[in-house]
């Protein structure tokens, strides 16, 4: 099986590549423009005979022969996706069109990593896949959430019109080793802050909730979806729901009880609550997450301490 992973030099992508490479029958090709990803995340595979890394921007055509496409390429942290919003929406729309064009030409199955952000600031809680969402079409997050919504539309139009085999995962907040230290997302921010002994920056009101999935569970869910018979969309996430204040308290207790928790300003349109209904993933994929937040955080701490050069002092 020859497998293309777009965005494979990023956080989730590089863990997915590790898992796919475990199977000796797989050849893996990564296409990435290194906007938020890095070669470092793939260093153990560079030079491997079953692995290839291409510097490529998905907004341009890619002509290769593959059997499966995991299409992840897209900046995921709000700071990075808002940095160049026009580029973000091009990545979601033109990038997904290009990958669907490739899938059509070579007859490959394609999986899109969509997002819980398609539900916007949800009025239904928890969110089942049947919920259509509450999304601001002209806000600062729209390049990403509306971009992913169009990407989902394109996937289904290619499926209905051209018979392409599609899979759509709606990923909920995922964390783990290899997140960029300056990624800007909440778990990586709090862990880096706790290790450096800086105050944890909880954005107001602090009562907003998220549900955090450990990356190994996520990769397992994505592969099951790709290998199964269901197009999706299917929510993949951990239903354990926490307020940002609770998350900060957990990080403080587990990593550095001396740090303060500071309330800081928030950004527009921040969703107030988010929790996946994973009934479909359980029934159709036989999948559910195994790693609890309090077990996952210390695994991430180890990786962050190494990269920050701050060993744990007892």
Contacts with ligand UDX, residue ranges (CB under 6 A) = 76, 78, 115-117, 173, 185-186, 189, 201-203, 208, 210, 244, 266, 270
Q: Residue 174 is encoded by which pair of tokens?
A: 């995922």
Q: Which does 11 bind (CB under 5 to 8 A by kind): ligand UDX, ligand NAD, none?
A: ligand NAD
Q: Does 33 bind ligand NAD (CB under 6 A)?
A: yes
Closer to ligand NAD at the Cβ: 78 or 159?
Answer: 78
Q: Which does 72 bind (CB under 5 to 8 A by kind): ligand NAD, ligand UDX, none?
A: ligand NAD
Name the DSSP class of 198. Answer: P
CB burial of 285-304 (b: ≥16 within 10 Å; e: otherwise) equals bebebebebeebbeebbeeb
Cα–Cα distances in angstroms (integers) from residue 152 to residues 24, 165, 167, in the given order: 31, 13, 10
Q: Residue 135 is encoded by which pair of tokens?
A: 């999304």
Q: Does 278 bind ligand NAD (CB under 6 A)?
A: no
Q: Which does 244 bind (CB under 5 to 8 A by kind): ligand UDX, ligand NAD, none?
A: ligand UDX
36 dihedral zone (left: phi>0; alpha: psi -120 to 50; beta):
alpha
| The residue count for the chain | 314
Largest distance between two CA atoms of the chain: 61
Task: Work out how close the CB of 145 gets to ligand UDX at its nearest, in angstroms, rounded to a whole number.
Answer: 8
Closer to ligand UDX at the Cβ: 111 or 186?
Answer: 186
Task: Work out how close the CB of 48 gets to ligand NAD at its nearest, in angstroms, rounded to a whole number.
Answer: 19
Closer to ligand NAD at the Cβ: 103 or 259?
Answer: 103
Establish whether 144 is a catalytic residue: yes
Q: Does 127 bind ligand NAD (CB under 6 A)?
A: no
Among 144, 158, 175, 214, which one carries the catalytic annotation? 144
Cα–Cα distances in angstroms (integers) from residue 3 to residues 17, 123, 287, in the given order: 9, 38, 22
Active site residues: 144
């Amino acid at each position: 099986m020859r497998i293309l992973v777009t965005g494979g030099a990023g956080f989730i992508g590089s863990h997915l590549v590790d898992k796919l490479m475990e199977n000796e029958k797989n050849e893996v090709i990564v296409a990435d423009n290194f906007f938020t990803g890095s070669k470092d995340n793939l260093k153990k595979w560079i030079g491997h005979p079953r692995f290839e890394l291409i510097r490529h921007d998905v907004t341009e055509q890619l002509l290769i022969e593959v059997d499966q496409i995991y299409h992840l390429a897209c900046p995921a942290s709000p700071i990075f996706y808002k940095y160049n919003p026009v580029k973000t929406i091009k990545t979601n729309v033109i990038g997904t069109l290009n990958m669907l064009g490739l899938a059509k030409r070579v007859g490959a199955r394609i999986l899109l990593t969509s997002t819980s952000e398609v539900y916007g600031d949800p009025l239904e809680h928890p969110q089942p896949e049947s919920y259509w969402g509450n999304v601001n079409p002209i806000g600062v997050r729209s390049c990403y959430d509306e971009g992913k919504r169009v990407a989902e539309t394109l996937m289904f139009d290619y499926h209905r019109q051209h018979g392409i085999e599609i899979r759509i995962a709606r990923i909920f907040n995922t964390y783990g080793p290899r997140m960029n230290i300056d990624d800007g997302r909440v778990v990586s921010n709090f862990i880096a802050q706790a290790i450096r002994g800086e105050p944890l920056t909880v954005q107001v009101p602090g009562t907003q909730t998220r549900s955090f999935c450990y990356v190994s569970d996520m990769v397992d869910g994505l592969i099951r979806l790709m290998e199964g018979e269901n197009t999706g969309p299917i929510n993949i996430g951990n239903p354990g729901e926490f307020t940002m204040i609770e998350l900060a308290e957990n990080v403080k207790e587990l990593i550095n009880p001396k740090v303060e928790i500071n309330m800081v300003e928030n950004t527009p349109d921040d969703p107030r609550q988010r929790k996946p209904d994973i009934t479909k993933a359980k029934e159709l994929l036989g999948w559910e997450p195994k790693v609890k937040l309090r077990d996952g955080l210390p695994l991430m701490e180890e990786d962050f301490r190494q990269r920050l050069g701050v060993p744990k002092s007892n």
